[in-house]
Amino acid sequence: MCLGIPGRIVAIVDEAAMLATVDVSGVRRTVDVVCVAAPGHPLAELVGAWVLVHVGFAMSVIDEEEAAATLKVLAEIGEAQAEIEAIRTGSVELPAAAS
């Protein structure tokens, strides 16, 4: 299963390519922030923002309270560790093909 998982933007890696470093429960990955960048504003404004990360993209900006609640629910249903590991390794597990 692929879920979006909350992470905090900690640095801008490449402004021209719209890439930032996101910390997801201690794991740092480079993600594309094109979906959350405000047109005409420097990406540096995103540093410190919480975002929902899915397959290498920051999909939406969320507040810290929503991030904490989402991480809690993911942990409770046993999905948090799998998603964090997918972010750590850069892999996404695809569902088995139907026969």
Domains of the chain with CATH codes: 5-89 (2.30.30.140)
Looking at residue 80, its pLDDT comes to 60
Distance CA 52, CA 61 (A): 6
- Per-chain mean pLDDT for the chain: 84
pLDDT digits (tens, 9 = 90+) for 44-89: 999 999 999 998 999 999 999 999 998 888 788 776 666 667 776 6
Enter the pTM of the model.
0.75
Residue 17 has pLDDT above 80, yes or no: yes
The DSSP output letter for 26 is T
Question: In the predicted model, what is the mean pLDDT of residues 33-39?
Answer: 96
